[in-house]
Amino acid sequence: MQKRLEVAVCGGSLLAAGIAASLEARGEIRVSRLGSSLAEAAPAVRMLSPQAIIFDIRDGGLAEVGTLLREKPGLVLIGLEHDRDTATVFAAGRQKVESGEELARLIIVRQADEGDR
């Protein structure tokens, strides 16, 4: 049986809630809704140790991105940009995703790649 991936969602926006619901509908992804900015949720994120974190960029927390990636190099951070209707993936480079399905696939593929290392 495949291990369920843990994804943390920081932020209370409608976009973050919609993405969380979309990911929860997939059986292989477990979503923890933290309901605050990435900066405020950083201690809880460190305790949860998720494979991916989705956060609202407008709520702040960009300063945490570098720190979290240094602490957990395989972590996938996805910043939601409401004004551009995009999600930016912070990991080894940036990648644009345009749907919840693309986002879920990206998280699953990245974690499979990490597991092969």
- The model's pTM is 0.78
User: Are the CB atoms for 90 and 77 separated by under 8 Å?
Assistant: yes
Any idea where the domains of the chain sit in the sequence? 5-115
The one-letter code for the residue type at 102 is: E
User: Are the CB atoms for 83 and 34 separated by under 8 Å?
Assistant: no
Architecture category of domain 5-115 in CATH: 3-Layer(aba) Sandwich (3.40)
Each residue's pLDDT expressed in tens, for the chain with a length of 117 residues? 567 889 999 988 888 888 899 888 988 889 999 878 888 888 888 888 898 999 998 887 788 888 888 888 788 898 988 777 777 777 755 566 777 777 777 777 766 665 555
